[in-house]
Chains A and B, each alone.
Chain A
Amino acid sequence: MRPQTMVEKILSRNVGRQVEFGEIVVAKPDLVYAHDGTAPLAIKVMRDAPEIYRVLDPGRVVFVVDHASPPPTVAAASVHREMRLFAKEFGVRLIDVGEGICHQVIPELGLVKPGDVVVGADSHTTTLGALASFATGVGSTDTAIAMALGKVWLRVPEAVKVVVTGELPVGVMGKDLALHIVGTVGADGMTYRAMEFWGDGLKHLSMDSRMTICNMGVEAGAKVALMPTDEVALNWFEGVGLHGVGRVVPDEGAEYVDTLEFELGRLEPVVAAPPSVDNVVPVSEVVGVEVDQVFIGSCTNGRYEDFLTAAKVFRGRRVREGVRCVAIPASRRVFTRLLRDGVVEVLVRAGCVVAHSTCGPCIGAHLGLLASGEVAVSTSNRNFVGRMGHEGSRVYLASPATAAASAVEGRVADPRKYLS
């Protein structure tokens, strides 16, 4: 058999034969999930088509109430209720208000393992590629079909080999690598393609960092972004109660359409300046831009390591007067660990508003929207015009370290002076 990419291995095993790049296959997802931004439309699609108003295998479906949660509007409350009723009717597991953001809480519950095919009704489903699963974002109709038939059609993507070497310098985070990649290839540089990570630099990247990096793969247009299973990953799986999972790694000599190389030691803190995610520049070029709001959280950067790093910046310092700093752990489990380790206290004493898990501010749903003329530094994933509020607001995407430093100074700031 010819050497295979991770994508080829996973999809070939799923469909039971060797797949070819570019062909369309029908896969059987191991897990299907949707949230309150996308599940309601999937439910409506199914209600409107009685022939498919069913869930083939409820054990493979999860709903998460995370986007506007708890409901800030009656409309949101209504769709949450509809999700609960549907979940109850079919025996689908529903992860309710405050438990976490889908891409964080689902892997924490041990619901994903290497080699799985996962479809999530959210573009950032690519996050779970960090667990060596073929995890890709789909729409509500795909979700309806996947729930009813247990199938999804997929074009087998060509893969790009992304080699990372070395180790990140102090004050530079996985998010900086993620932004650097998007800035290098552009917002459509990976469209229809898979990213597969290689290299001796991976062993220095925590699972939290890996999830950030795979999360942002979709911002370059990637269909999936996969990390091989190594000791770091196996330890992590043990930690979530999944013992003895198999490894998925690419074969030496597998066929890639392109290769990119990144030397971690040479990276510096960067931001994506408004209004596009690939408008990536070193923090040093925008230092001093005045900031009204800082948001630390989201499926991109709401994990333990993110707040631990932010707290190192905040310890003994205060959020600058006139700046609101919203900190939102991505799951209850993350929140609990942060409480246990005293991190929440550091954040609160520094003047951060610490809230329950929700996607909230990232999508302009609630808990910190922006007025016209306001500027935010956000650890989330998108800075499109109007994304977090008024169309006249602006968003700089950055790492939690850069965000915290910016909150302290009230201006975009380089975090390295607080961390070295």
Chain B
Amino acid sequence: MLVRGRAWKLGDNVSTDHIISGKYKFKAIHSLEEMLPYLLAEVRPGFYREVRPGDVIVAGRNFGCGSSREHAPRLIKLAGVGAVIARSFARIFYRNSINIGLPVVEVRELPGITADGDLIEVDLEGGVVRNLTKGFEEAFRGYPREILEIVREGGIIEYVRRHGDLPWGGGTG
């Protein structure tokens, strides 16, 4: 699975409140489409309009901290973002992203050397991310096989629809 697009650079501790604020979420709680204009509204105004399919968010530490609201990764995916790269992720955001088939990748160095608009490539199977603009490449610890399958199939719901169960089988892990 290869994702390639322009970088959108964000900082540390971007919370799910920054991604979709509770006050907007509850205004449009019945519809993800109606929430979309508020995506990252107080961090990167206009993001939802300017982002192009395959673009990549490149962030610092603890991306997606705070609320469990899955609307955050869903809106990022709905806007067309192909992957999120960060120094680290908050755990609920991380698992939500996997569950909906949004690739999330933890690397130490690349966020530091990446600027807005750099061309980024994520190779999930190969376990490597590249900043093509800067000629920089960094390996990351690949997903366990089952997680990779979930992401590749577009999320855990799609996986279960196709296979009838979770990839780990019957409850014994």
Contacts and interface: CB of A to CB of B under 8 A. Distances in A.
Given A75-B29, A137-B68, A384-B18, A149 B166 contact: yes
B17 A384 contact: yes
A67 B22 CA distance: 10
A75 B31 CA distance: 9
A346 B123 CA distance: 62
Contacts of A72: 26
Interface string A9-50: 000000111010001111110000000111011000100110
Given A365-B22, A382-B17, A142 B66 contact: no
Interface range for B:
35 or more
A281 interface: no
B161 A139 contact: no
Contacts of B32: 41
Interface stretch (A184-192, A196-204, A317-325): A184-192
A76 B29 contact: yes
Contacts of B149: none
Contact of A36 (B21, B29, B61): B29
B135 interface: no
Nearest to A190: B91
Contacts of B29: 36-37, 40, 68, 73, 75-76, 79
Contact of B26 (A27, A73, A149): A73
Contacts of B70: 38, 41, 139-141
A367 B12 CA distance: 31
B50 to A, nearest CB: 20
B67 interface: yes
B91 A192 contact: yes
Interface string A137-161: 1111110110011010100000000
Contacts of B71: 41
Contact of B27 (A24, A41, A75): A75
A16 B62 contact: no
A78 interface: yes
Contacts of A24: 144, 146-147, 168, 173
Nearest to B92: A137
A369 to B, nearest CB: 7
Interface stretch (B2-10, B112-120, B126-134, B152-160): B152-160
A180 interface: no
A386 interface: yes
B166 A151 contact: yes
A75 B30 CA distance: 6
10 contacts: A17-B172, A24-B146, A26-B169, A140-B70, A145-B99, A145-B157, A153-B168, A191-B91, A221-B65, A364-B22
